[in-house]
Amino acid sequence: MTGRRRELDQPSQVGSSFELDQPSQVGSSYGAAVLCAVAGCDHRACHAGPFQVAYIGIDAIEEDGGCFVSACVSLPMTADWSKPCSHSRLDKWGEPCSALHVGGYTPSWDEMAPVFVEGALYVNLVYYQEDYHIVILKYDLVSNCLSLIDPPLAGPFNLNAASLMAMDDNSLGFAHVDKVTLQLWSRQTGSDGIASWTQRSVINLNNHLPIQNPNERLRLIGSVEGSDTIFVTMGLDIYELNLKTFRWKKLQKREKLLGLIPYMSFYHPQERVIPGDAAQ
Report DSSP letters for 106-142, one per residue: --EE-SSPPEEETTEEEEEEEEESSSEEEEEEEEETT
163: pLDDT strictly greater than 80: yes
In the predicted model, what is the mean pLDDT of residues 260-274?
59
- How high is the mean pLDDT of the chain? 77
Q: What is the pLDDT of residue 252?
A: 77
pLDDT grade, residue 86 (50/70/90)? very low
In the predicted model, what is the mean pLDDT of residues 50-64?
79
Lowest mean pLDDT of 41-45, 54-58, 230-234, name the range: 41-45
pLDDT grade, residue 147 (50/70/90)? very high
Comparison of pLDDT for 46 and 11, the residue scoring more? 11
Tell me whether residue 269 is in a domain: no
Tell me whether residue 267 is in a domain: no
Contact criterion met (CB below 8 Å) for 106 and 25: no
Q: What is the pLDDT of residue 3?
A: 66
Contact criterion met (CB below 8 Å) for 58 and 107: yes
Comparison of pLDDT for 21 and 176, the residue scoring more? 176
pTM greater than 0.75 (yes/no): yes
Q: What is the pLDDT of residue 214?
A: 62
Contact criterion met (CB below 8 Å) for 21 and 241: no
In the predicted model, what is the mean pLDDT of residues 138-166?
88
Lowest mean pLDDT of 145-154, 170-179, 225-234, 259-268, name the range: 259-268
pLDDT grade, residue 270 (50/70/90)? low
- 237, β-bridge pairs: 234, 253
- Whose CA is closest to 233, among 181, 126, 161? 161
In the predicted model, what is the mean pLDDT of residues 35-60?
81
- Whose CA is closest to 53, among 28, 71, 39? 71
Distance CA 11, CA 18 (A): 9
Domain span holding position 74: 29-79+92-251
Number of domains in the chain: 1
pLDDT grade, residue 79 (50/70/90)? low
Q: What is the pLDDT of residue 197?
A: 94
Distance CA 249, CA 255 (A): 18
b vs e for 68-77, b when ≥16 Cβ sit within 10 Å of the residue's Cβ?
bbbbbbbeeb
Comparison of pLDDT for 33 and 215, the residue scoring more? 33
Distance CA 141, CA 162 (A): 24
Tell me whether residue 264 is in a domain: no
Q: What is the pLDDT of residue 18?
A: 45
- Whose CA is closest to 135, among 116, 145, 122? 122
**CA angle, 178 then 179 then 184, to 5°:** 40
N- to C-terminal Cα separation, the chain: 18
Q: What is the pLDDT of residue 229?
A: 84
Lowest mean pLDDT of 139-148, 169-178, 209-218, 220-229, name the range: 209-218
92: pLDDT strictly greater than 50: yes
Residue 138, phi then psi, degrees to nearest 5: -115, 125
> Where do the H-state alpha helices sit in 46-191?
none
Comparison of pLDDT for 270 and 3, the residue scoring more? 3
SS3 at position 130: coil
Tell me whether residue 17 is in a domain: no
Comparison of pLDDT for 94 and 82, the residue scoring more? 94
In the predicted model, what is the mean pLDDT of residues 71-79?
83
> Where do the H-state alpha helices sit in 105-160?
none
In the predicted model, what is the mean pLDDT of residues 108-137?
84
- Whose CA is closest to 237, among 222, 249, 223, 253? 253
